Amino acid sequence: MTFDLLIKNGTVLDGASNQAYKADIGINGNLIRVVGNLRGASAGQIIDASGLFVAPGFIDIQNHSDSYLTLLEIPSMESLVTQGITTILVGHCGTSLAPLSTPEALKSIQKWRSLAGANVNWQTFEEYLGTLKNYPLGVNVTSLVGHATVRRGLLSDQIRAATPEEILIIEKQIADSFEAGAKGVSLGLVYAHEANSSEEELLSVAKMVASNEKMLSVHLRSEGGHVVEALEEVIGLAEKSGCDLKISHFKIRGSQNYGYLDEALSVIDRAYQRGVSVFFDVYPYTTSWTVLYTYLPKWAYEGGKKSILQNIKEPSSRKKIIDHLSRQETNLGSVFIATSETNPGLTGRTLSQIAANQEVTAQEALLNVLEATATHAIVFDRNLSESVMLALLKHPLGVIGTDGAGYDFSFSPTHGLVHPRCFGTMPRFLSLIREKNLMSWPEAIKKITSRPAEKMKLKNRGRLAAGLVADVVVFDPHTVGSRATYENPYQQADGISYVVINGKISFAVREPAQRVTAGQLLLN
Ligand SMILES: [Zn+2]
């Protein structure tokens, strides 16, 4: 037998079986032809995987490359390929790059990136995908449609519930996006432009998701003191509509709230037992990467950027905000400015340092940073618990998502200090499997391959079997891990030996210059 590519002598974790087994993999074109004993076969290219694990390409079901604009700027997405990711789902947290019924719609990404330099010349979801198809994509890409993007195209800067007529237009735009290939809808209920959506509006969206057999991916209204109510809200939407529900980047913020873990998980478990199709993604880090204005009380930011700045300026509302911050956040001073595009000099400084410099409290410093950056600041906050994180990684309804974006290996002031999860989520997860014995290797691999593939309805990816598309990762279980840090995230992961995407070797650790961009836009 002759193959284009032969991966031989490896230990296969195929994404379906509960056992690892020795097998060779024969690939022709973009398809896996054989998984079995291929001794004596010849091939154009041979990978010797002796001593290594061979797994399906990792699937990132929670990726932000579109809203950070790097999907357009750095479509090769090296930080994802080199950690073994072969397919991503973008369009999360209420925001996608289409449909753009008016130029206003794109402003839903402004909390993460300024629009300067956004090279956008499409309106509909179909036109967006048509453009993206011609990009040299490093990984396979598929997208949700963002609810905030749709409603902002319609309501512009108005912060209010949509009228029944507007709800019909929102439904039509979502239906057209589904028709073009969108995998579902995302909500970002914590953010200013969605916080005022009525239950009727959200339920209409959830029902559309259900009737089209798509996915609803939700950034919860609260990840802190009101996390249980926030879960009950979206599980209610899923239960009433019958839609598939994914909780995005599930976590519990703030040490005073860690105790809600058991109650939060029991709300999810009980819903699952009642037949609600609910699951969540989680990243293996205890530092969150957060839009700074979401630290304010909801009333202070739900009017959008202008009203945030007004509320900060006006003495009585300023005092109320500071009282709120003093009550909520135990360790505000350690919050670290990761990116401030409008004021790059703040990057890398903590609120304590800024406060000391300005001779004010950390709460005052936070408000000063929001003013100095016109509200566009993103921060790192060590506000998550290791034991909560481990419990979520282990939970049967949990899969792993980066909640990060694709970058290359060069620092730029525009991108600032990005979260290390953009470079190391999957290797770090695998290193935790090795070091903490969290679960078996086959179970861990399912959480980053076949489970997300099933949820995204990717029928021919996420497993290693004859006839499926050849997205394959070869890695060393003894050394796999992340080197990316908060101070220097731009570092390649350890232990990822080869990444094959659509049958082509996209990354080989010994020949880093040989990289090709073999990703495709996935429409179905
Ligand atoms: Zn989010």
Q: From the CA of 1, how far away is ligand 1's center (Å)?
A: 48
Strands 496-501, 504-508: pairing is antiparallel
In a domain, 518, yes or no: no
What is the per-residue pLDDT across 73-95, written as a single tens digit (0 to 9) for each? 999 999 999 999 999 999 999 99
**Residues in contact with 268: Cβ distance below 8 Å, sequence separation at least 6, in sequence order:** 231, 235, 247, 278, 280, 397
Q: From the CA of 263, how far away is ligand 1's center (Å)?
A: 22
Residues 222 and 267 in one domain: yes
CATH number at residue 28: 2.30.40.10
Q: Which residue has the tokens 């700074």?
A: 292
CATH number at residue 398: 3.20.20.140
Last residue of a domain, one of 381, 415, 443: 381
Q: From the CA of 311, how far away is ligand 1's center (Å)?
A: 24
pLDDT for 511 equals 78
Q: From the CA of 267, how far away is ligand 1's center (Å)?
A: 20
Residues 52 and 62 in one domain: no
In a domain, 487, yes or no: no
In a domain, 488, yes or no: no
In a domain, 377, yes or no: yes
- Contacts within 8 Å (CB) and 24+ apart, 318-324: 318/367, 321/296, 321/297, 321/363, 321/367, 322/361, 322/363, 322/364, 322/367, 324/296, 324/297, 324/300
Q: From the CA of 21, how far away is ligand 1's center (Å)?
A: 38
Of all residues in the chain, the percent with pLDDT exceeding 90 is 82
Q: Would the pLDDT of 113 be above 70?
A: yes
From the number of C-beta atoms within 10 Å of its C-beta (0-12, 13-18, 19+), residue 166 rates as middle
Residues 243 and 232 in one domain: yes
Q: From the CA of 172, how far away is ligand 1's center (Å)?
A: 24
Q: What is the C-alpha to C-alpha distance for residues 377 and 312, in angstroms, rounded to an integer?
A: 15
Residues 62 and 144 in one domain: yes
Report the 3 state secondary structure along 227-294. Answer: HHHHHHHHHHHHHHHCCEEEECCCCCCCHHHHHHHHHHHHHHHHHHHCCCCEEEEECCCCCEEEEHHH
Q: From the CA of 202, how far away is ligand 1's center (Å)?
A: 17
Q: From the CA of 143, how far away is ligand 1's center (Å)?
A: 15
Residues 153 and 17 in one domain: no
Q: From the CA of 187, how far away is ligand 1's center (Å)?
A: 9
Q: From the CA of 9, how far away is ligand 1's center (Å)?
A: 41
Residues 353 and 230 in one domain: no
What is the per-residue pLDDT across 224-243, written as a single tens digit (0 to 9) for each? 999 999 999 999 999 999 99
Q: Would the pLDDT of 524 be above 80?
A: no
Q: From the CA of 63, how far away is ligand 1's center (Å)?
A: 10
Q: From the CA of 446, how far away is ligand 1's center (Å)?
A: 23
Residues 25 and 71 in one domain: no
pLDDT for 509 equals 85
Residues 278 and 314 in one domain: no
Residues 348 and 469 in one domain: no
Q: Choose the weakest-confidence range: 136-140, 156-160, 419-423, 467-471.
A: 156-160
Q: From the CA of 407, how far away is ligand 1's center (Å)?
A: 19
Q: Would the pLDDT of 278 be above 70?
A: yes
pLDDT for 302 equals 80
| Whole-model pTM over 0.85 | yes
Q: From the CA of 405, how far away is ligand 1's center (Å)?
A: 12
Residues 90 and 149 in one domain: yes
Question: Is 427 strand, coil or helix?
Answer: helix
In a domain, 399, yes or no: yes
In a domain, 517, yes or no: no
Q: Would the pLDDT of 21 be above 90?
A: yes
Residues 376 and 412 in one domain: no
What mean pLDDT is reported for the chain?
Answer: 94
Q: From the CA of 249, how far away is ligand 1's center (Å)?
A: 7
Split into its structural domains, the chain has a count of 3
Q: From the CA of 484, how far away is ligand 1's center (Å)?
A: 21
Q: Would the pLDDT of 463 be above 70?
A: yes
Q: What is the C-alpha to C-alpha distance for residues 497 and 47, in angstroms, rounded to an integer?
A: 10
In a domain, 522, yes or no: no
Q: From the CA of 4, how far away is ligand 1's center (Å)?
A: 41
Q: From the CA of 297, how far away is ligand 1's center (Å)?
A: 18
**Residues in contact with 251: Cβ distance below 8 Å, sequence separation at least 6, in sequence order:** 223, 282, 288, 384, 388, 389, 392
Residues 20 and 106 in one domain: no
pLDDT for 414 equals 74
Q: Would the pLDDT of 330 be above 80?
A: no
Q: From the CA of 408, how far away is ligand 1's center (Å)?
A: 22
pLDDT-derived band of residue 344, with 50, 70 and 90 as boundaries? confident
Last residue of a domain, one of 381, 404, 439: 381
Of all residues in the chain, the percent with pLDDT exceeding 70 is 98
Q: Which domain holds residue 162?
A: 58-286+384-455
pLDDT-derived band of residue 512, with 50, 70 and 90 as boundaries? low
Strands 31-36, 21-28: pairing is antiparallel
pLDDT for 138 equals 97
What is the per-residue pLDDT across 159-215, written as a single tens digit (0 to 9) for each? 889 999 999 999 999 999 999 999 999 999 998 778 889 999 999 999 999 999 999
Q: From the CA of 145, how far away is ligand 1's center (Å)?
A: 14
Q: From the CA of 165, how far away is ligand 1's center (Å)?
A: 28
Q: From the CA of 419, how far away is ligand 1's center (Å)?
A: 14
Neighbours of ion ligand 1 (CB under 5 A): 93, 219
What is the per-residue pLDDT across 481-503, written as a single tens digit (0 to 9) for each? 999 999 899 999 999 999 999 99
Q: Would the pLDDT of 263 be above 90?
A: yes
Q: What is the C-alpha to C-alpha distance for residues 88 and 401, in angstroms, rounded to an integer?
A: 9
Q: From the CA of 93, how far away is ligand 1's center (Å)?
A: 4
pLDDT for 329 equals 62
Q: From the CA of 516, how far away is ligand 1's center (Å)?
A: 31
Q: Choose the weakest-confidence range: 141-150, 171-180, 342-351, 367-376.
A: 342-351
Last residue of a domain, one of 361, 381, 401: 381
In a domain, 329, yes or no: yes
Dihedral (Cα; 46, 48, 54, 59), 10-degree rounding: -50
